[in-house]
A = this chain, B = another copy of it.
């Protein structure tokens, strides 16, 4: 099969793209679709605001149009799913956002999901998304790490905060599944799950997993 899933890191950090590469490795199957991870060079170094998110829509659409012919699905690897509605409208291919895919995957695992967000500023954006998905009743709470996206690669700063947030989501807010609300945190998924004792969803893996299935099924035809 020569189909390609294009995973777009809409920020310009190559380091995060490499984290995404590592995250999706288990979904590379010899006979399955190619998975290609690209950096949107026009993007800012991190998507830390609605403006950052909106700013990458145009270049991401351009990238998508250039790859529409040779790609079978697109994944927007930024929690917040910037530009997903325009992407879906403009493409004949299925488009996945990691927030949507992460949440829908979490719904198959636990009855109330919590989200570890990068920053307090992003919580309202996430709540609007969850409202538009119509799944607010399943949300326990979104708790922010209060760190910049770029800092999430500094293990010593991040992991302890994630465990603290996850513990509060579980014990105070009644979550029985936790979503990591950021791309590039995949390396922490297993240790965090072990520390919390409840399942942890890595959203880029969730989204590329959904794309893998859809591309294989080829519902959209050729």
Give me the interface of A with B, judged by CB distance under 8 Å: 1, 26-27, 29-32, 49-51, 53-55, 57-58, 61, 83, 85-86, 88-90, 94, 96, 100-101, 104-105, 107-112, 123-125, 127-129, 131-138, 141-142, 174, 176, 189-190, 193, 199-202, 205-206, 208-210, 212-214, 216-219, 221
Contacts and interface: CB of A to CB of B under 8 A. Distances in A.
* This chain's copy number in the assembly: 6
A44 to B, nearest CB: 13
A90 B121 CA distance: 12
A192 to B, nearest CB: 11
A89 B27 contact: no
Contacts of A100: 107-108
Secondary structure dominating the interface of A: helix
14 contacts: A29-B31, A30-B30, A49-B89, A54-B85, A55-B58, A85-B125, A100-B108, A111-B127, A128-B132, A131-B132, A137-B137, A142-B174, A209-B213, A210-B213
